[in-house]
């Protein structure tokens, strides 16, 4: 394991022990599991978080390669995988109890949503094909036996090899649990005498609202690069523009069409696995990125390299 603290200038200081300070941004390299964690303290500035993202990308590209998977998490909102890594190192006391409890629940739920039991998988491996017979007795086309995904090459298991379903995710299980199944009588038209009840905001709407607020806050904290101003901002399915007072004004529903622009510079802002916003910046004459903005900016090639898949 390697523990590296990100400095304001993008340099890294390596330490022998892990210290999760609330003003720190850390890169943790798990060489056994081939993971690189970007951990961000709750009180560190937003620019320092993006400097850490740039530093992790550079370190991965120069020293470790694409085999190492980069992941990020914030203090007090650590992922289940991060907590599991700390537990393996006997350092899970560095995170609060509520974070550990939530991580354990997620891990337990993940264990329960496996498609195939071990016994079924071993039995399926012994079979070479399964044959179905229709009502007339005619044989249908042979299908490959169902095989557990852990018996397949990694690239095939991810995509869902022939005869195998892709492994379900935790998110898909949560969505399945949250689906409301209505009875037939609930689907009947509502009579005119029925009183209408006020609309209650759904959890999905609340999540979208929270994400929107966080995205707008990140944009305000970052500001526009020196010599540029925001002409257009896309957050989710909404379009905004920045007013002279620095506020964000939502525009009307955009017209249908395909739009190009050779006079704008696009900037995409990603954080914790989400695309927070896509900005279209209008440059002033002779505008160039300042050293401070270059420090946090990454080339689009770094983004594309994250999606490269090594087979074999």
- φ, ψ for residue 231, nearest 5 deg: -95, -35
pLDDT tens sequence for the chain (312 residues) = 999 999 988 899 999 999 999 999 999 999 999 999 999 999 999 999 999 999 999 999 899 988 898 999 999 999 999 999 999 999 989 999 999 999 888 888 877 775 444 555 555 555 544 444 444 444 333 333 444 444 444 444 444 444 444 444 444 444 444 444 444 444 445 444 444 555 555 677 777 788 888 899 999 999 999 899 999 999 988 899 998 888 899 998 888 889 998 899 999 999 888 899 999 999 988 888 888 888 888 888 777 776 764 443
Report which of 10, 51, 4 is spatially closest to residue 28, judged by C-alpha positions. 4
DSSP secondary structure string, 15-55? Answer: ESS----TT-EEEEEETTTTEEEEEE-TTS-HHHHHHHHHH
Sequence-separated (6 or more) residues with CB below 8 Å from residue 137 = none
Task: State which fold the 2-112 domain adopts.
Answer: Severin (3.40.20)
pTM of the model: 0.63
Domain positions in the chain are 2-112, 117-129+143-164, 209-305
Where are the strands (E) in the chain, listed by range? 2-6, 12-15, 25-30, 35-40, 69-74, 129-130, 143-144, 228-235, 238-242, 248-250, 265-271, 274-283
């Amino acid at each position: 394991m390697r523990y590296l603290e990100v400095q304001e200038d993008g340099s890294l200081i390596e330490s022998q022990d892990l210290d999760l300070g609330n003003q720190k941004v850390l890169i943790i390299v798990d060489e056994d599991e081939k993971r690189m964690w970007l951990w961000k303290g709750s009180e560190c500035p937003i620019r320092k978080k993006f400097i850490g993202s740039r530093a992790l990308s550079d370190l991965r590209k120069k020293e470790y390669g694409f085999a190492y998977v980069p992941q990020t998490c914030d203090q007090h909102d650590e992922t289940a995988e991060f907590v599991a890594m700390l537990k393996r190192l006997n350092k899970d006391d560095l995170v609060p109890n509520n974070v550990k409890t939530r991580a354990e629940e997620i891990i337990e739920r993940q264990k329960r949503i496996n498609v195939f039991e071990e016994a079924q998988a071993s039995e399926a491996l012994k079979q070479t094909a399964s044959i179905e017979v229709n009502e007339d007795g005619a044989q249908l086309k042979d299908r490959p036996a169902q095989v557990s995904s852990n018996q397949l090459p990694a690239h095939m298991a991810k995509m869902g090899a022939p005869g195998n379903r892709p492994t379900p995710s935790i998110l898909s299980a949560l969505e399945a649990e949250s689906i409301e199944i209505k009875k037939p009588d609930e689907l009947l038209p509502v009579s005119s005498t029925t009183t209408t009840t006020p609309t209650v905001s759904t959890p999905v709407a609340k999540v979208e609202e929270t994400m929107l607020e966080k995205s707008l806050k990140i944009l305000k904290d970052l500001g526009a690069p020196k010599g540029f101003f925001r002409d257009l901002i896309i957050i989710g399915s909404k379009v905004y523009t920045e007013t002279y007072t620095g506020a964000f004004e939502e525009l009307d529903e955009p017209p249908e069409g395909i739009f190009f622009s050779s006079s704008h510079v696009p900037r995409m802002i990603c954080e914790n696995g989400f695309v927070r916003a896509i900005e279209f910046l209008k440059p002033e004459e002779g505008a160039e990125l300042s050293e401070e903005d270059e420090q946090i900016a990454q080339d689009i090639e770094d983004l594309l390299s994250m999606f490269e898949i090594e087979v074999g």
